[in-house]
Chains A and B, each alone.
Chain A
Amino acid sequence: MPIEFRKEFFADERDDNLNEIGKPTQRQDMIGHVTGRSPFYDDHLFDGLLHIRCVRSPHHHARIRSIDVSQAERMPGVKRVILGKDVPHNLNTLLSLLDFGLDDEPLIAEKKVSYKGEPVAAIVADSERAARDAVAKVRVDWEVLPHVLDVEEAIKPNAPVVNETYPKNLFIYHNKYDHQKLRYGDVEAAFREADHIVEGRYQMSPIEQAPTETCGAIAAPENNNRFVCYTSTQALFFSLGTAAKLLELPSNRMHFIGGTVGGGFGGKVDSLHEPLAILGVILTGRPCKYMFDRAEEMQVGAPRGAERWYIKDGVMNDGRIIARQFTGYFDSGAYTRLSSYAIIKGVGHLPGPYTIPNVHANVYCVFTNRTPATAMRGFGITGVDFSIEAHMDKVAETVGMDPIELRILNSYRDGDMKAHRRLAKNTALVECCQVAAEKAKWRISDEARRQTSLMGGGGERAKLPAHTVTDELGRVEGFSSGSYAAKTSSQPNLAPAAASVSRPVQSQYQPEQYRPSSPASTETPRTPNPAPAPLAAPVPQPASQDNGARRPMRFSSISGLRRR
């Protein structure tokens, strides 16, 4: 269907005499796609390629009493069995590269598993079938633990502890609170003035991105004392940084090649494959491929997380919404991955594209024994937008108003102050509503049709609330950002008990001049890692008293430190 341009809107804000924008341009990769020659990661052939397959937990939550790999090691074609103890730094959180959150997830579980499908061992074998046959021979003695799969169950006092880094099953924001807060005005006072209170509960299930190309990576020794890694990652430097951290290898020892991705949709940022494929090369000296099969992609591959939202609105008889309160629960699954960030993004978006003078939100990033969640197209926004729009219909019904006219009435306009304390500009919800109504042959009033996003905004609506009620609900103590990215070597880094001890790589294969970046001194967990690499050793420090207040402010919208 051809794109329809509605150039009558905002004509003076736009230059239509552009050479490229608005005109079709052939993709540079199209010829490769239609001839089947585009180089996806699995399209790189290596002589002597080994295949990695993981032994995975059949339980949602279980302690690993012991793992017996003796039979698997003797299977034909098996070159190596990799356990958690073989991973140089077997504890990570993806966003530690952005100095956000505590390391909470091993590459290969050692003590317990917290979701079904979590890897506990990896087999490296000379064929995929040999690897599968050996996986079937690994014996794990499981002590099955009670599990929790629902966000609100998980935060009850006696719920099973999913993630030991966060013993209350809640991610800690800004080292201070067990949820992300939004406070704007005074919702309780506004609720008392409102003619109607409209409440709703909304939820959505996890959604698997299901790319046609499954996630994976192929790594191989390179002759220049490096490892080459072909990967399906959507976040090449992110994956590089993560591999450098987990393997304690300087990033300039790794040559990452990506860019041709067989569908990602957000599901290819978790960087699980690159480190294990490279570790396979380190331990065997041969090219290694680690690739999800379809069942793994669906069960183990991180989905868009489930969300549950409670919304409470204070509404006047004329349809004006004067207060909106959110309580949100993001199901992060067993580990943080990107859900913590999704909430920051989502809360910045509240209360949706509407101007509401009093807004309040408590949004919780909850750990459950489900598959860890990650990015997917607009994650952090999609679920709450679904909830908000479903709720708008409920509000319209309550006050007996047309649902589109209710949206136009409450729509943000240019110059309005938003709850995240920025002025709105280039708004276009009013026009979207009008065009949607027209397309759907939905009659709206002349008054609603006359509105524009340029009318009615600013002025009083540009002002911050006279008074914003704040609180210390959910205050926690003892958490401090373990800064991986910042060089804090001048400060004593106290490794927490939960953090893994870094170990030397047990390498049978050493490329020329290869030296592990962290020498064998790492048996002492309390010693800061003296790695010469630009990336210092990750040392989370939840027990530290230093809450980071003395650090200089840096530009970082994620950690909420961006200066106005």
Chain B
Amino acid sequence: MPVQVETHARLDDAVRACAQSANARFFGGGTLLMRAVNEGDQSFDRIIRCSDPVLREIRMDGNAISIGAGVTMLEVMENRDTAFLAPVARIVGGPAVRSAATIGGNLYADLPYGEMTTALLALGATIRFAGDAQGVSIDDFLRDRASRRNRVVQSISIPRVGDAANFRFVKVTRVKPKGAALMSIAAYLNRSSGSGGIRVAYGNMGPMPVRALAVERALEGASLDERGIARALEVATEGLEPPTDAFASSWYRREVAPVHLKRLLLGSGRA
């Protein structure tokens, strides 16, 4: 069936249009959705676009930064308030992908994509749907992402990272500078905030970005040196089921995860 595209100037109208049809998809930057259109994906026949400027806003909100779902990776890189996320945005696709791909769209990216979502998971982001002021934690969002396909994300809220050294990210690829990730690791090491201030997330180590809870526990109160992180490396893949795909086997991913985690935590990681 041919695809219908409708464009709404107001976010409310776009949300209503999406809610009306199970066969509708919301259009972010198009880098994932247009591929599906090109390949004749039969699972949707309606595309809802929205030109509301609210989706393109980046604003400070107390100790948090709210990033509109329609903000592109290029805009994340160029905005001073999101500068600490630039190392993540910079490894999403090539330059031509980054001028279209949005942070909201990345939340729905399937393997092997979705590095930004891995970073947002480590940062403990809050996902706000349009018309829903409350928002859900990114952990909850990812838990039932599939059922939220036709809901419209308005913005993503993350804490302001004061000391850039507290947020670390690595994407492991076979091809440099651009290649699909074998895995990505994001760590938010906000140790001054006491218990719960450490969050570590993996991309491509499961069907979607996943927290490394055992690593987080092992790093609680530990110093970031060889001895301090030893326990965290031991449990680097505890509770994970890494996939086997064209890029790497599950076995390989398990073997190299502690190596990359170590480099990341000791600050010797090569981006």
**A: which residues have CB within 8 A of B?**
76, 129-130, 132-133, 135-136, 293, 295
Contact = CB atoms under 8 A, between A and B. Distances in A.
Contacts of B38: 293
Contacts of B42: 133, 136
Given A133-B1, A135-B40, 7 more contacts: A129-B2, A129-B40, A130-B2, A132-B39, A132-B40, A136-B40, A293-B38
Interface string B45-82: 00000000000000000000000000000000000000
9 contacts: A76-B2, A133-B1, A133-B2, A133-B40, A133-B42, A136-B42, A293-B38, A293-B39, A295-B39
A6 B106 CA distance: 54
Contacts of B1: 133
- For chain A, what secondary structure do more than half of its interface residues adopt (helix, strand, loop), or is it mixed? helix
- Of A129, A293, A295, which is in contact with the most chain B CB atoms at under 10 Å from its CB? A129
- Of B3, B38, B39, B40, which is in contact with the most chain A CB atoms at under 10 Å from its CB? B40
A135 B1 CA distance: 11
A136 B38 CA distance: 14
Contacts of B3: 129
B32 to A, nearest CB: 15
Nearest to A76: B2
A130 B42 CA distance: 12
B60 to A, nearest CB: 42
A474 B225 CA distance: 65
Interface in B1-16: 1-3
Nearest to B35: A294
Contacts of A133: 1-2, 40, 42
Contacts of A295: 39
B30 to A, nearest CB: 16
A135 B41 CA distance: 11
A238 B40 CA distance: 33
Contacts of B2: 76, 129-130, 133
A42 to B, nearest CB: 15
Nearest to A135: B40
Q: In the A-B complex, list the 5 residue pairs whose CB atoms are closest, starting with the nearest.
A: A132-B40, A136-B42, A133-B1, A129-B2, A129-B40
Nearest to A127: B2
A237 B12 CA distance: 61
Contacts of A136: 40, 42
A132 B1 CA distance: 9
Contacts of A293: 38-39
A133 B40 CA distance: 7
A136 B39 CA distance: 11
A53 to B, nearest CB: 8
A133 B3 CA distance: 10
